[in-house]
Structure 1
């Protein structure tokens, strides 16, 4: 499995796909992200849709999220319509949008 890191000083405009890989976002992505796992760090921002098996957000995301497992840390700020099987949210996490949790 590959891990791709978008560093803090990097801005990507366009879609990112890594079907079997993990993507760590420390910088900014304007576009859709499709991977096995997506981790948005506190300094990271994604303006676009995320499609992944697991999504962990500590930073900012706006768009749409479709995943199996979604984890929102206390520093997360999400404005998205969410479709997930499970959701874990720390106290202080912000989520605005339509949320659909299907369970197991």
Structure 2
């Protein structure tokens, strides 16, 4: 299993696919991300759809999230339509959009 990191000083414009890997976003991604797991760090920003088994948001996301497990940290700012089986959220996390939790 591979781990790819988009560092804080890096901006990626375009789609990223790593179906069996893990992606950490510390910088900025403008495009869709498909991966086994995606973690958006506090300084990270994603504008686009995220499709993964596990998604953790500490930073900013706008677009769409389709996952099995979504975790929002207290610093998360999410403007997305969300479809997930489970959602956990720390106090202080912000989520704006249509949310569908399928259990």
TM-score bracket, shorter-length normalisation: over 0.9
1:102 match: 102
Normalising by structure 1, we get a TM-score of: 0.99
Count of residues in correspondence between the two structures: 103
Q: CA RMSD in A?
A: 0.2
**Which residues of 2 match residues 70-81 of structure 1 at below 5 A?**
70-81=70-81
Please give the alpha-carbon distance, in whole angstroms, between the structure 2 residues aligned to 1:20 and 1:30. 21
Gaps of 5+ in 1: none
**Which residues of 2 match residues 28-67 of structure 1 at below 5 A?**
28-67=28-67
Please give the alpha-carbon distance, in whole angstroms, between the structure 2 residues aligned to 1:5 and 1:76. 19
Cα drift, residue 84 of structure 1: 0.1
Cα drift, residue 13 of structure 1: 0.2
The secondary structure found in structure 2 opposite 1:48 is: strand
